[in-house]
């Protein structure tokens, strides 16, 4: 047997007319045999009626103020941002954007030409210059000639 708590889960939807027909029929059947749930249903009907009630009376000045603001806004021509963009313009803009995006990843290849891998260039070694250029480097062997950088202990120079 379905407990009352499960039926009560649907009471709100039932009272506000949001429950489907089959569930409403099941709930009604239960309500016939359950006084406690009937009381709860009655309370919710009262609550729904109270919630619908409205004491609101607009002030006359408010209506006048709204009217003035409305006519002011409606007289002004609408800017391009406020207008609805025609469908064909939107489609064209989307296509153009897609084409630009599609073209972007290929741009470096087609626009920027890469130089072919360079052959190693051999520079003639001028005695006495390289050690200054690579000051601080360890012993380096260039083209088989042994060129020594500054050694530890030679910093005093």
Q: Which residues bind another protein (CB under 8 A)?
A: 9, 12-13, 16, 18, 43-44, 46-48, 50-56, 58, 62-63, 65-67, 69-71, 73-75, 78, 82-84
For another protein, give the closer residue by CB, 53 or 123.
Answer: 53
| CA–CA separation, 117 and 103 (whole Å) | 26
Q: Tell me the closest approach of the beta carbon of residue 136 to another protein, in angstroms.
A: 58
CA-closest candidate to residue 10, choices 143, 86, 1, 29: 29
DSSP state of 145: E
For another protein, give the closer residue by CB, 20 or 139.
Answer: 20
| CA–CA separation, 77 and 65 (whole Å) | 21
Q: Tell me the closest approach of the beta carbon of residue 41 to another protein, in angstroms.
A: 12
Q: Is there a contact between 27 and 7 (Cβ–Cβ < 8 Å)?
A: yes
For another protein, give the closer residue by CB, 75 or 114.
Answer: 75
Q: Tell me the closest approach of the beta carbon of residue 53 to another protein, in angstroms.
A: 5
| CA–CA separation, 143 and 118 (whole Å) | 18
């Amino acid at each position: 047997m379905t407990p009352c708590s499960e039926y009560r889960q649907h009471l709100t939807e039932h009272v506000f007319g949001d429950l489907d027909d089959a569930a409403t029929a099941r709930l009604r059947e239960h309500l016939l045999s359950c006084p406690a749930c009937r009381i709860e249903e009655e309370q919710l009907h009262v609550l729904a009626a109270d919630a619908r009630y409205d004491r609101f009376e607009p002030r006359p000045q408010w209506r006048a103020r709204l009217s003035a603001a409305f006519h002011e806004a409606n007289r002004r021509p609408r800017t391009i941002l406020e207008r609805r963009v025609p469908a064909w313009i939107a489609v064209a803009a989307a296509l153009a954007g897609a084409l630009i995006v599609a073209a972007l990843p290929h741009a470096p290849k087609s626009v920027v030409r890469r130089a072919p891998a360079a052959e190693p260039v051999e520079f003639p070694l001028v005695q006495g210059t390289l050690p200054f250029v690579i000051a601080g480097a360890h012993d380096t062997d260039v083209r088989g000639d042994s060129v020594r950088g500054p050694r530890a202990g030679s910093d005093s120079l």
